[in-house]
Chain A
Amino acid sequence: MVPMTSAAAIVRARRRATLTRFWHDYRGHKTGIAGLAILGFFVLVAIFAPLLADPTGLDITKATAPAHMAPSAGNPLGTDENGRSILTLLIHGTRMSLLVGLAATVIAMVIGTAIGVMAGFYSGRTRSILNAVSDWFLVIPFLPLAIVMATVLGPSLLNIIIVIGVTSWPGTARLVCAQTLSVRERPYMERAKALGASDWHQMTRHVLPNVMPLVMAHVVLTVSIAILSETTLSFLGLGDPTRPSWGYILDHAFSTGAMTNNEWWFVMPPGICVVLVVLAFTLIGRTLEAVLNPRLKETR
């Protein structure tokens, strides 16, 4: 060990130690590992989608197979109403569903954290107003609100991400606000203030790092809800009509009578994918919560 270790090196070593401890705790939860495995599989499918299934198979004009075909060697999951292979749609749908879920969560996390930290940090009128805004979004029924917004904005990939992101942040804001309130009372905050730290410095350097770990667990749970929301909105026809997602496949199955024709291969696979991915995110989120929040270890 060199005696003149720089501050940055100490910080790095500490971070590495924390990560190692975290991974050690995480590994103890079998369900968390199962969640990671399922998610890993779908992430790989999403990344290598163009290799697994030729993207030209998504083009309606280039589909050669007959419509509504039962599973066969060429099309293991049959074909849709345009003669496209459902397996191809499913593989490329993985990309869309994960992308929308993650992107919407990023938006929700940014808005939720910003509003939550401010609501917790400032008191008086600012907090009342910010809390009133998040309460309003919590109370208003999610799906009708999302439907109204998506209808006005029009169906496109960016719009569905915005709609889900803008409607799912209040839970994060509430959690962050509660955490900030407890951090605010700690002695080092007083010290920082006495040394002349600005509000911005206090919020970003002292409050955020203490709040982030719990937010991470919550964020993972938010992704699962965002993916469910994407499926629901796409099923209702509010998703991007040019980019198939799992909800899009279900929408097409529903509107072309797959249920009356008994085409289980059209309906079942996208739903199973949704269940598996949502379940994976839920399991990971719960494990993170258990690892990061020791208080929960005893009660739940």
Chain B
Amino acid sequence: MAVSTVPGTTTRARARFLTGTSGYVIRKLSWSLGTLFFVLVFNFFLFRMLPGDPVGLYNRGRNMPAGQMAKLRAQLDQPIGQQFLDYLANPFASTINSTRFNRPVWEIVGERVWPTVMLVGTAILIASVAGVWIGIRSAWRRGSGFDRGATSITLVLYAMPEFWLGMMFLIAFPFFPSGGITTPDDGSMVDVAWHMVLPVTSLALVYLAEYSTIMRASLLDELGQDYLQLARAKGLKDDLVRRRHAVPNALLPTMTLILMNLGFVIGGAITVETVFSWPGLGLLSYEALRGPDIPLLQAIFLLFSIGVVVFMLIADLLYAIIDPRVSSS
């Protein structure tokens, strides 16, 4: 799950034709669009690949409203090429409603985006600040008691399924709400924050393990560089060498990797939202797969993929702005 891709290495083959900053942007954009196209192809064909009547996959032996069934039949009776074109034209507007909620898929997904953004955003914010701080301290005094302690705790946290951590929190702290986003007759900010404590902590602890490892490794990479030697030779204090020279350079790859590891973050959100019945996209995925509710599942998968690809693109472009060496090479 820990993906550490070095930005800028993806499309080396075409680099000869497209050089310079505009070439870099075009390359990254076309790569993102290509990736999304393959998500669409995959999403469409995966559910039509199996032998037998595809209707069986959609309703799994349950009753479906007659109108829905007729629509689904009409859609599936068309030539596969035509179906694919229809799908491409509007991938979120499935012909049939969600089989679980019997409402248009796009509507349901739209309602669930905000709670997930709020939960995951808070967790990432806390985890990245704390993780970067721990990573800097460990790398700067490598082999110290702090480093050894932090590394062991990180390894254990990394080995932990985040949903299990959440389940243990629920048992250990019964005075916190066991789930949901608000208490029925209360909707204040304080109440929401109170509901967020446990899920955010479970997510943040596991993300923190990831982020501090990345920060530590990238600062260690910088520590061997010649310019730090020069900074010390100039007579700069150790603290200044770290703050002004080493850390800013090490932060670059860390920030991009945090953006790029959104896939890892999504995995955590699915299980933790399930444990805490947090009404976001993660819980929706769980509800969709338990059915299984195929139209809904397809839409969620597409949405998650778009999210990851967009963040990847932002990371690549940001990286080029902050570090011009990337786009000029």
Residues of A within 8 A of B (CB): 124, 127-128, 131-132, 135-136, 138-145, 147-149, 151-152, 171, 174, 224-225, 228-229, 231-232, 235-238, 247, 250, 253-254, 258-260, 262-264, 267-268, 270-271, 274-276, 278-279, 282-283, 299-300
Contact = CB atoms under 8 A, between A and B. Distances in A.
Nearest to A283: B155
A244 B301 CA distance: 28
Given A254-B275, A300-B220, A228 B297 contact: no
Interface string B5-21: 10000110110000000
Contacts of B163: 232, 235, 250
A64 B1 CA distance: 41
Interface string B182-226: 000000000000000000000000000000000001001100100
Contacts, number: 150
B163 to A, nearest CB: 6
B159 interface: yes
A259 B171 contact: yes
Contacts of B304: 141, 144
A198 to B, nearest CB: 25
A89 to B, nearest CB: 16
A171 B39 contact: no
B161 A264 contact: no
5 contacts: A128-B13, A141-B266, A152-B47, A250-B161, A267-B168
A253 B285 contact: no
Return the 5 tightest CB-CB contacts between A and B, nearest first: A141-B263, A143-B267, A278-B159, A271-B164, A259-B170
Contacts of B289: 147, 151, 236-238
Interface stretch (B75-83, B90-98, B125-133, B305-313): B305-313
Label chain B's interface by main secondary structure.
helix
A141 B267 contact: yes
Contact of B161 (A151, A235, A268, A276): A235
A236 B174 CA distance: 24
Interface string B87-114: 0000000000000000000000000000
A217 B39 CA distance: 31
A236 B266 CA distance: 14
A141 B308 contact: yes
A104 B155 CA distance: 22
Contacts of B170: 259-260
A149 B49 CA distance: 11
Label chain A's interface by main secondary structure.
helix
A45 B207 CA distance: 31
A42 B21 CA distance: 53
Interface in B286-324: 286, 289-290, 292, 294, 297-298, 300-301, 304-305, 308-309, 312
B46 A148 contact: yes
Contacts of B5: 138, 174
B175 to A, nearest CB: 13
Contacts of B64: none
Nearest to A178: B9
B304 to A, nearest CB: 5
A131 B9 CA distance: 10
A148 B155 contact: no
B146 interface: no
A157 to B, nearest CB: 18
A171 B5 CA distance: 9
Contacts of B3: 138, 171
Given A253-B167, A262-B174, A232 B220 contact: no
B178 interface: yes
Given A141-B264, A259-B167, A271-B168, 11 more contacts: A138-B5, A139-B312, A141-B304, A143-B271, A147-B289, A232-B161, A270-B164, A271-B161, A271-B167, A275-B160, A300-B220
B35 A139 contact: yes
A127 to B, nearest CB: 7
B262 interface: yes
A274 B164 contact: yes
Contacts of A259: 167, 170-171, 178
B84 interface: no
Contacts of A264: 168, 171
Contacts of A151: 289, 292, 294, 297
B136 to A, nearest CB: 16
Contacts of B301: 144-145, 147-148
